[in-house]
Structure 1
Amino acid sequence: MTTVDEVINKHAVAQAFSRAAQSYDNAADLQRRVGNELMQRMVAHPGSLLLDAGCGTGHFSRCWRARGKTVYAVDLAPGMLEKAAELGSADRYLLGDIDALPLPDGTVDLVFSNLVVQWCGSLRATLAELYRVTRPGGMIAFSTLVQGSLWELSHAWQQVDGQSHVNHFLSDEQIHAACSPWRHELHFCQKTERFPDVITLMRSLKGIGATHLHQGRTGGLTGRQQLHALQQKFPRENNALPLSYQLAYGVIYHE
């Protein structure tokens, strides 16, 4: 998540996402668009047992089951996993950390992890754990945020109170380096969402649970005066507030 490995408060991350379990599906348009593209990078693989690593409410677990896969769904947030189970998303549910999966070596054919690994302290260590539970001949596909994501929000906050209020993300080069122990492919792109005002934008981030800042501050809704100041400082495009996401799509092949 940062330019160096760091210790992440996983309990706080889990709490933030658990609180968002009921609102997530209504706010997760970007997550679905990115996940759909990630799926296309692995649909040709014949493997039958798939791990949805960081399943959230189970949207993609359900998509994979509809394609005939047997799905293990794992998530750090109890609220998310409960919602996924309520929706009948997977064949098996596992409450756990993708950095320490409760699975033996070589359990699954495929690992799908959509916009999750940015919440881990070391991308290479996380990928090594996903590699561990994958069988030879299997595939790991992940998406993550890259340096420069949410720059409009960070820039506006810097002008309001001198602080970023946005987590740091790895650069292209750091993601390449994290994947270097294995045969892999990486693709980078940008997607931009647009909002009518700051309140809608901040509620969208809160709705998907992306409110935990590793530096210890909360990214939730703030006071009216601060939001008004943020609205004034936010860059605009065609009377809308843009929020840009720099994205990486990665595929790792288990030799």
Structure 2
Amino acid sequence: MMQRVNKQAVARAFGRAAHTYNQHAELQRLCGEKLAGFARKQQGQRVLDAGSGPGWFSKRWREAGNAVTALDLSAEMLEQARSLHTADCYQRGDIEALPFTAPEFDLCWSNLAVQWCSDLRLALTELYRVTLPGGQVLFSTLSAGSLSELTTAWQPLDLAAPVNHFLPVEAIALAGDKLPLRLKQETLTLAFADVLSALRSLKGIGATHLHGGRREGGLSRGHFQQLEQSWPRDSRGYLLSYHLVYGVMDRE
């Protein structure tokens, strides 16, 4: 449940993607809409969007009739969210150390953000801590086996695939073993016209920080030709699969 995460590097990576994020965030939108379906209430709540990015779902919750606080590690993401008028309040902060001293929110929402935390147990405990009695915590994350196509495609290059380690579902469940956590699972597979489009989809949302560091140098034309040959694909195109885990906690 523990991993070393350079939060400043993560914030920089997502900050660089602040202006392109919404163009490439198909997975985030599909996942978030599924997650929203677990909410007991859709309006009249105080909502924390933890790991809000540029505020796609902050805006969704606000337009549904909720008072929304957008929280993110990245100042650039929050500035983009502010420019789009997505929330009522904007707060820079870390999910593992939420800047609220007492329960304030009816719904603590975190869509595809907690996989960037060092300690998932701490992140879930913090989200639960700031949720009001009778409220909910809803989060989504990625589990082991996600982006397996990248690993497969990189094998002929004799290079480490640019994929972070994701926790297995059992470890995600263990992180919430002292909390009223219920988990749901789903696999979503996206298809792209070519390898470059698939890679750009990851870069465009800022998901380019590797906890273990990056190798020096970029990919050559020969590397791209090898990737084209080895990347798993079907009639729809070049594939990227995501093993999604949805978490629900009802606050007592």
- Using the size of structure 1 for normalisation, the TM-score is 0.94
Contact 1:49 1:70 in 2 (8 A): yes
Q: What residue ranges of structure 1 are gaps of 5+ in the alignment?
A: none
Task: Quote the residue 1:95 is aligned against.
Answer: 92
Q: CA RMSD in A?
A: 1.7
Query: Matches of 1:213 and 1:7 in 2, distance apart?
Result: 11
- The answer on whether the counterparts of 2:43 and 2:64 sit within 8 Å (CA) in structure 1 is no
- Give the 3 Å change call, closer, same or farther, for CA 60–31 of structure 1 in structure 2: same
- Structural mapping, 1:153-172, within 5 Å: 153-172=150-169
Deviation at 1:184, TM superposition (A): 2.2
For the pair 1:71 / 2:78, whether they are aligned, the reply is no
Aligned residue type for 1:117: V
CA distance in 2, matches of 1:64, 1:57: 14
Q: Which amino acid aligns with 1:59?
A: W
Which one of 56, 59, 77 corresponds to residue 62 of structure 1? 59
Q: From the superposition, tell whether residues 9 and 128 of structure 1 become closer, same or farther in structure 2 (CA, over 3 Å).
A: same
Match of 1:178 in 2: 175
CA contact (8 A) 1:160 1:233 kept: no
In 2, Cα distance between equivalents of 1:40 and 1:243: 24
> Residue 186 of structure 1 aligns to which amino acid in structure 2?
L
28, 33, 38: which one pairs with 1:36? 33
| Contact 1:206/1:220 (<8 A) preserved | no
The equivalent of 2:245 in structure 1 is 248
Tell me, in whole angstroms, the C-alpha distance in 2 between the residues paired with 1:38 and 1:219: 38
Q: TM-score, normalized by length of structure 2?
A: 0.95
Moved more, 95-104 or 84-93: 95-104
Partner of 1:169, secondary structure, is: coil
Which SS does the other structure have where 2:224 is aligned? helix
- What displacement does 1:254 show? 1.5
CA gap of 1:183–1:47, structure 2 versus 1, over 3 A, is: farther
Measure the CA separation in 2 of the matches of 1:220 and 1:190.
32
- What is the CA–CA distance in structure 1 between the aligned matches of 2:8 and 2:158, rounded to whole Å? 28
SS in 1 for 2:197: helix
How far off its partner does 1:162 sit?
3.9
Over 3 Å counting, the alpha-carbon distance change for 1:93 and 1:249 in structure 2 is same
Q: Secondary structure at the match of 1:167?
A: coil
Q: Deviations over 1:172-193 (max 9, x none)?
A: 1111111211112210010000
SS in 2 for 1:17: helix
User: Relative to 1, partners in 2 of residues 1:252 and 1:27: Cα closer, same or farther, differing over 3 Å?
Assistant: same
Instruction: Map 1:83-162 to 2 at 5 A.
Output: 83-162=80-159
* Alpha-carbon displacement from aligned partner over 1:73-98 (angstroms, at most 9, x marks no partner): 00001111000000001111001111
Partners of 1:128 and 1:220 in 2: CA distance: 40
| Unmatched runs of 5 consecutive residues or more in structure 2 | none
Give the SS at the match of 1:199. helix
User: What is the aligned residue count?
Assistant: 252
Q: Secondary structure at the match of 2:101?
A: coil
Spell out, residue by residue over 1:150-179, the C-alpha distance to the aligned partner (whole angstroms, 9 max, x if none): 001112112312413200111111111112
The letter for the 2-side match of 1:181 is K
Within 1, Cα distance between the matches of 2:216 and 2:144? 18
* Matched-pair identity in %: 48
Residue 64 to residue 93, structure 1, CA distance change in 2 (3 Å): same
Instruction: Judge conservation of contact 2:187–2:243 (CA < 8 Å) in 1.
Output: yes
Contact 2:44 2:67 in 1 (8 A): no
Distance (whole Å) between structure 1 residues aligned to residue 100 and residue 37 of structure 2: 26
| 3-state SS in 1 of match to 2:166 | coil
Describe the SS at the equivalent of 2:229: helix
